[in-house]
Amino acid sequence: MLGNLLGGFVVLVVGVNLIPAIADSVNAAIYENGTVANKNVTGSSATILDLTTLFFALGIMAAGVSLAVGGLRNAGIL
């Protein structure tokens, strides 16, 4: 049980620390000086690429919820 908690917290800390790097990479892939730099990524493609950071953050949140629920189940509370 302690190993699961420790591993889960490591995943959360690393994931949260990677969010700014992912956001910067996504913005660099699409924008340059506030305008669309890559002509291959426009319109809906740029919108979907912008959502990459959101879905990464949702995945980290899901890992946190899973960690909490697993810990509560092992403790017999849930």
Sorted by where each begins, the domain ranges of the chain are: 11-75
Given CA atoms 5, 7, 8, 12 in this order, what sign does their dihedral have? positive
Residues 13-62: pLDDT tens digits? 999 999 999 999 988 888 777 666 666 777 888 889 889 999 999 999 99
At 40, give phi and psi (nearest 5°): -80, -15
Given CA atoms 70, 71, 74, 75 in this order, what sign does their dihedral have? negative
| pTM for the predicted model, two decimal places | 0.79
Q: Is the pLDDT of residue 78 over 80?
A: no
Residues 6-25: pLDDT tens digits? 888 999 999 999 999 999 99
